[in-house]
């Protein structure tokens, strides 16, 4: 894919400068590194990672890149002695590396650092493109799906742990802390877990605070500390009788399951989204189509992998859904005077169906 993109743009190299916190960098190199490093891939077969000297041996052992070089190998310190400015020395070192490899034009992603981009643009052609690794990451390999399944299993266990606490818990904060601690002990990192109750649940991304009322949305989306892969799961838990909330939840569950039943290799993303909207509208609820600001006010889903939000988007788009894609299906309804409900599963696409990776009862009542 990368060589083809380079040919389309008449460029010789695609380059990234980032740490492994950047999902595309980690996917491309397979190397965990806390500080930014330089990665270049070329139409001539170049596959090169440039790191500090202290990281070189580890990169040779752990990364999946063909060739490793250190800044010392490239003469960075001699250039630094002459220029005195580390940023300028780094720019010159990397520019000379690209030119030595025959680079006349390079492609960089949207998040490429401006100090490098400006330096390069004064000396060669530079074109900014969407990072092609984002599209590559959308279709998961078998081992990636296994990792997401591990995270999904941990999510379900943490949710069951939360259910045991809900009746006794005094606040949303208490439940959130317990979920995140449970996952951390199991080898997963969860941040800003949503435990939102009462009227606050009408805001989809309000993480929740204060006392637990008649119902609570619990949205858990941790990543595996070792592999870096996420999962995403939401259930609305009913604690007291509330007919309006129960009717909303019933509609959302129907919409989610109808959408999941349509997912297969080759379906268009907007067909899944329209299934959700049509069912909710048939049941008398507003959707994003009406632009009212209440009802179903977000997309149907998003990709899940090395990021909790990645390709593909399940919305009003023409993206073709492919076997191996992993994404969420998460319809919700939100009304300021009533509160909100949401039910969400993470699924992996098969040839003629999809598999739910976060299997759990849709209707949860304590």
Location of each CATH 3.40.350.10 domain in the chain: 2-136
Q: Which CATH architecture has domain 2-136?
A: 3-Layer(aba) Sandwich (3.40)
- pLDDT band of residue 1 (cuts 50, 70, 90) is confident
Helix, strand and coil percent figures for the chain, each rounded to 5: 40, 25, 35
Domain 139-365 sits in CATH at 3.90.230.10
- Can you say how many angstroms the Cα of residue 225 is from the centroid of all Cα atoms in its chain? 15
Residue 68 confidence (pLDDT) = 98
Question: Could you read off the pLDDT of 150-201 as tens digits, one per residue?
Answer: 999 999 999 999 999 998 998 999 999 999 999 999 999 999 999 999 999 9
Q: Are 305 and 230 in contact (CB under 8 A)?
A: yes
Q: Which helix (H) or strand (E) holds 17?
A: strand 13-18
What does the pLDDT average to over 264-274?
Answer: 98
> Is the pTM value of this prediction over 0.85?
yes
Inform me whether the pLDDT recorded for 78 exceeds 90: yes
Q: Specify the pairing of strand 354-356 against strand 125-129.
A: unpaired
Coil vs helix vs strand at 91: helix
CA atoms within 13 A on the CB side of 266: 3
* Interacting residues of 58 by C-beta distance below 8 A, sequence separation 6+: none
Question: Could you read off the pLDDT of 275-322 as tens digits, one per residue?
Answer: 999 999 999 999 998 888 899 999 999 999 999 999 999 999 999 999
Residue 289 confidence (pLDDT) = 84
What whole-number distance in Å separates Cα of residue 50 and Cα of residue 342? 45
Residue 292 confidence (pLDDT) = 83
Averaged pLDDT of the chain: 97
Residue 85 confidence (pLDDT) = 95
102-118 as b/e: b if 16+ CB within 10 A: ebebbbbbeebeeebbe
- pLDDT band of residue 323 (cuts 50, 70, 90) is very high
What whole-number distance in Å separates Cα of residue 70 and Cα of residue 55? 8
- Closest by alpha carbon to 181, among 131, 234, 220? 220
Residues of the chain with pLDDT > 90, as a percent, come to 97
Location of each CATH 3.90.230.10 domain in the chain: 139-365
């Amino acid at each position: 894919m990368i060589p083809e993109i380079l040919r389309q743009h008449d460029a010789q190299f695609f380059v990234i400068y980032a740490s492994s916190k950047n999902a595309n960098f980690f996917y491309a190199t397979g190397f965990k590194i806390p500080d930014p490093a330089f990665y270049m891939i070329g139409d001539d077969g170049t596959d090169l990672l440039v790191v500090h000297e202290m990281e070189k041996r580890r990169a040779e052992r752990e990364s999946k890149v063909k060739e490793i070089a250190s800044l010392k190998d490239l003469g960075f310190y001699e250039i630094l002695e002459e220029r005195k400015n580390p940023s300028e020395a780094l720019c010159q070192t990397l520019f000379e590396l690209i030119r030595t490899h025959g680079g006349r034009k390079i492609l960089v992603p949207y998040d490429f650092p401006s100090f490098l981009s400006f330096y390069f643009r004064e000396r060669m052609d530079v074109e900014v493109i969407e990072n092609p690794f984002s599209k590559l990451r959308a279709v998961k390999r078998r081992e990636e799906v296994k990792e997401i399944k591990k995270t999904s299993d941990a999510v379900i266990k943490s949710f069951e742990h939360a259910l045991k606490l809900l009746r006794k818990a005094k606040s949303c904060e208490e439940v959130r802390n317990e979920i995140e601690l449970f996952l951390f002990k199991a080898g997963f990192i969860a941040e800003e877990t949503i435990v939102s109750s009462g009227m606050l649940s009408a805001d989809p991304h309000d993480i929740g605070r204060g006392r637990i009322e008649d119902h609570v949305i619990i949205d858990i989306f941790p990543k595996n500390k070792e592999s870096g892969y996420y999962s995403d799961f939401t259930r609305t838990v009913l604690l007291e009788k509330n007919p309006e909330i129960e009717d909303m939840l019933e509609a959302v569950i129907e919409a989610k399951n109808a959408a999941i039943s349509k997912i297969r290799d080759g379906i268009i993303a907007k067909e899944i989204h329209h299934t959700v909207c049509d069912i909710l509208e048939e049941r008398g609820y507003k959707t994003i189509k009406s632009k009212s600001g209440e009802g179903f006010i977000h997309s149907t889903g998003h990709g899940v992998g090395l990021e909790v939000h990645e390709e593909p988007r399940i919305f009003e788009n023409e993206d073709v859904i492919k076997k191996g894609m992993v994404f969420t299906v998460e319809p919700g309804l939100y009304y300021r005077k009533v509160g909100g409900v949401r039910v969400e599963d993470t699924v992996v696409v098969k040839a003629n169906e999809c598999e739910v990776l976060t299997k759990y009862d849709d209707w949860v009542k304590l």
